[in-house]
Amino acid sequence: DGNWGIAVSEKAASIAAMVSPHSPVSKLVTDMAEAKAFTATILEVKKEQSSTRALVSLKTRPSEHHPSGVEPARTDRTDNPSGLALARKMRELKYHRVMVWIAMEEVSGGSRKVRVLRHVEDLGIDLEVADVGADGTVTPKDEVVAELLAAFAAEK
């Protein structure tokens, strides 16, 4: 059947376009391969004042750079569809433990680098920062979250 052959050819061309060196899919695969992956809990997601990115506060382990155990990361710009989709997903996963993939990205003409979220996978609600009601409602432990975010703010 000629229609079947045409459909297969169109799908093959679509796959070839997706994996071409300059496609968004190839860029994402490359970015993911170069990104650092680790687990964290999403504490806060807000709009970054200086851009259209979402600024995410992640609870991790205390480190030399972040003794509070909270560190920042950004999504891609939310004026592009993938950046907006990831920002929305991060808001939906607030108080969840997640696996994140983060890459360093130059901004301001290369004068500084920021940590940019490339991907996130849900690992479930973090019971250290939130409670789950019988109806499935997630309620943050406000004092715990406020204390973590205050310690992080004091580091800046």
pLDDT tens track for 44-73: 999 988 888 999 999 999 999 899 999 999
pLDDT at 1 over 70: no
pTM for this one? 0.81
What is the helix (H) or strand (E) element at residue 10, kind and residue range?
helix 2-18
**What's the whole-number mean pLDDT along residues 141-149?**
92
Nearest to 117 by CA among 71, 93, 86: 86
Does 33 score more than 90 pLDDT? no
**Tell me: the pLDDT tens digits for 95-105?**
999 999 999 88
Kindly tell me the sign of the dihedral angle through the C-alpha atoms of 149, 116, 100, 132.
positive
Q: What is the mean pLDDT of the chain?
A: 91
**Distance between CA atoms of 138 and 153, rounded to whole angstroms?**
25
Average pLDDT value for residue range 142-153: 92
Which of 79, 63, 72, 85 is closest to 45 using CA atoms? 72
Q: What is the three-class DSSP state of 12?
A: helix
Contact 61, 55 (CB under 8 A): no
Q: What are the φ/ψ torsions at residue 99 (nearest 5 degrees)?
A: -100, 125
Asked if residues 96 and 89 have their Cβ atoms less than 8 Å apart, the reply is no
- Residues 117-146 have a mean pLDDT of 93
Average the pLDDT over 75-93 and give the result.
93
Asked if residue 110 has pLDDT above 80, the reply is no
